Amino acid sequence: MLKIGLTGGIATGKSLVGRMFAELGVHTIDADEIAHDLMRPGEKVYDEVVRRFGPEILNADKSVNRARLAELAFDQKRPRIYELNSIVHPAVIERQQQWMEEIRRREPDAIVMLEAALLLEAGLRKKFDRVIVVSCKPQQRIERWEKRLNIDAETARREVTRRMMAQAPDEAKIQAADFVIDNSGSVEDTQKQVHKIHEALVSQAQVKSA
């Protein structure tokens, strides 16, 4: 089985790229979605996050209000993103490893891909055979965040900047990458890059399983 890590900075288009790989038959999973599941009431991660960050992060139905939690985690005066990550990351890693093992048992020569914004920051580089980094121009990140959340440009700029401070710079990510996808152009251009990389990954998976 070939294990692929897909990462990149905020609003670079990781999810779009992940969907493109999934359409080509790659088994994909999103670390964000795993984290969402782990922060549901009744989960150990949920209990610990509420204990550390307080009941003010909860909605009326006791679910976690992710916007409020993000405000606390990325607060510039007292950032707590590393505290949050120390709770969530180990559980996410355990869950994604279980997922990969289940696929390996069914399909030993499969290509599996974890999409994770903080893959490198969490020290997971060595757990993957190959790492793909998605990049785009800084201004595009702001425009995409603005459109995604339907907010004004200045608010988007502040939020993107704030979150980028908790991520490794693009230069460091690219240095650690086996493949880089430039998502600054058209969807078609990105898709061409994905297809080319997928061909290389299929060849590498075949060699590994031989």
Q: Which of 88, 87, 57 is nearest to 72 (CA)?
A: 57
179's tokens: 């493949």
Q: Containing domain of residue 72, as a range?
A: 2-209
> How many domains does the chain contain in total?
1
Q: Which residues of the chain have pLDDT under 70?
A: 210
Q: Tell me the pTM.
A: 0.90
Helix %, strand %, coil % of the chain (to 5):
60, 15, 30
For residues 109 and 205, the answer to whether their CB atoms sit within 8 Å is yes
**CATH number for the domain harbouring residue 79:** 3.40.50.300
2's tokens: 């070939």
Centroid of chain to Cα 39: 16
Residue type, 117: A
For residues 98 and 190, the answer to whether their CB atoms sit within 8 Å is no
In the prediction, which pLDDT does 183 show?
96
DSSP string, 117-172: TTTTTTT-GGG-SEEEEEE--HHHHHHHHHHHHT--HHHHHHHHHHHHTTS--HHH
